Amino acid sequence: MSSLNERVSRSDPEGRKMTIVEALREALQEEMRRDERVILLGEDIGVQGGFGGAFTVTLGLAEEFGRRRVIDTPITEAGIAGVATGAALGGLRPVADVQYGDFLFLAMDQLANHAAKLRYMSGGKLRVPMVMRAPVGATTRGAQHAQSLEAFFMHVPGLKVACPSNPYDAKGLLKTAIRLDDPVIFFEHKLLYGSKGSRKEAGGLEIFGTVPQEEYLIPFGQARVLRQGPDVTLVANLLMVHKSMQAAQNLAEAGIEAEVIDVRTLAPFDWPTLFESVSQTGKLVIVEEDNLTGGWGAEVAARTADTCIGYLQAPIRRVAAPDTPVPFAPIMENFYVPSVERIVATVTELM
């Protein structure tokens, strides 16, 4: 797989090797040190002796910044989103989180009708600089703790949507998100947190990435071409980036060279990078964990057909989950989630 997926030593001379959890934690720490308006809200994020949130991202931050800035909330996602929206309107820069992305449905009114629209409705007089972090993806927890929700929020004007696949992007995008004056939904795949530490994820990837000591930001709306190839374009996000890279390597052994694009953010979306790639390869396969109907891949397919129809040499294909709730049984979940083998088979058929 690509260097993003290599299991490397933390003493690598090229730089610090960090997990996504560590990169997210450092981003929060740096922004809280830089700007006293940055606060954290969430369930169990500052409990003394606790995990540091559901997946340890906020571990130790309450001890450094105090519980006036790392605020434990009741189990009320609507309340968390409402308080975050109000705090942002009042001049703070809250970073809120839910323990599972599925619980964002309990906060849809606050997010879709208030946070997303108030800047527009006020003619720019009001700003809602808030971030809502949300773990997504299937991890043998059943249908109500496993969904991929990116398409729901990509559909709401006024919201920005980020979906990092590696530690470098996770830190750079989160720091950018905190400094933006618009609300951001920040998705993190649970299997990319890893399978070690106090909250182990069965099947989690041990992904270490080089994260610079010096400060850096990653602009929203800039995708990254991870692998170049003239035969077909693979575009993916989150966990599917890593599966697409493995599929590209397998395809290369069969003589098919795929270009792999990590979208990084879905709103805004980097259409120029995608269209340039498709104009060169003439073929597009979109890989997402969400179920097929109405996923973000459908919008990508439609826009590409509108813009690149003269370059396409084959139908646009999507590799996605079936239109069913996420199953609980591990063997069924493995069938449900797109696999490297499905990606390879789809590309091979397309060729």
Give me the active site residues, please. 145
Q: Give the neighbor-by-neighbor strand order of the sheet with 265-267.
A: 70-72, 38-42, 93-97, 131-136, 184-189, 160-162, 265-267
Are the C-beta atoms of residues 26 and 18 closer than 8 Å to each other?
Answer: yes
Residue 161 one-letter amino acid: V
**Nearest CA-CA partner of 321 in 261, 238, 254, 199:** 238
Q: Which two tokens stand for residue 307?
A: 């813009």
In angstroms, what CA-CA distances link 320 with 4, 268, 323, 345?
22, 22, 9, 13
CB atoms within 10 A of CB 282: 16
**Nearest CA-CA partner of 258 in 237, 240, 282:** 282
